[in-house]
Chain A
Amino acid sequence: MHGDAKLKVPGGKLVAVKVTYSRKIEGIQILGDFFIHPEESLAQIEECLVGMDSGASSDEIAKRIDSLARERGIQMIGITPEAIAQVMRMAIK
Chain B
Amino acid sequence: MTQWRVIELEEHDAYINMAVDEAILENVRDGKASPTIRFYRWHPSAVSIGRFQSMQEEVRVGACRDLGVGYVRRITGGGAVYHDYDGELTYSIIGKEGLFSSGIHDSYRQICGYVVNGLKRIGIESQFVPINDVITNGKKISGNAQTRREGVLLQHGTILYKLDISRMFLLLNVSKEKVSDKMVKSVEERVTSVCALSAATFAELYASMFKSFTDGKEFSIGKLSQDEMHRAQELSKRYSSDEWNLSR
What residues make up the interface of A, taking CB atoms closer than 8 Å to B? 12-14, 29-39, 42, 75, 77-78
**Interface of B (DSSP majority class):** loop
B247 to chain A, nearest CB (A): 10
Q: Do the beta carbons of B131 and A77 come within 8 Å of each other? A: yes
Q: Do the beta carbons of B104 and A12 come within 8 Å of each other? A: no
**Chain B interface size range:** 20 to 34
Distance of A11 Cα from B122 Cα, bound (Å): 30
Distance of A36 Cα from B148 Cα, bound (Å): 10
Q: Do the beta carbons of B53 and A39 come within 8 Å of each other? A: no
Q: Do the beta carbons of A33 and B148 come within 8 Å of each other? A: no
User: B131: which of A30, A31, A32, A78 is its contact (CB, 8 Å)?
Assistant: A78
Q: A38 to chain B: which residues have CB within 8 Å?
A: 148-149
B135 to chain A, nearest CB (A): 15
Distance of A37 Cα from B147 Cα, bound (Å): 7
Q: Do the beta carbons of B52 and A34 come within 8 Å of each other? A: yes
- Kindly report which residue of chain B lies nearest to residue A36, judged by CB atoms: B77
Q: Do the beta carbons of A35 and B76 come within 8 Å of each other? A: yes
User: A35: which of B54, B131, B149, B248 is its contact (CB, 8 Å)?
Assistant: B131
Q: Do the beta carbons of B104 and A37 come within 8 Å of each other? A: yes
Distance of A37 Cα from B51 Cα, bound (Å): 11
**11 new A-B pairs (CB below 8 Å) besides A13-B131, A37-B104?**
A31-B54, A32-B52, A33-B50, A34-B77, A35-B104, A35-B131, A38-B149, A39-B52, A39-B77, A42-B52, A77-B104
Distance of A34 Cα from B79 Cα, bound (Å): 8
Q: B50 to chain A: which residues have CB within 8 Å?
A: 32-33
Considering only residues 221-248 of chain B, those with a C-beta below 8 Å from chain A are: 248
A45 to chain B, nearest CB (A): 11
Q: B57 to chain A: which residues have CB within 8 Å?
A: 31
Q: Do the beta carbons of B75 and A35 come within 8 Å of each other? A: no
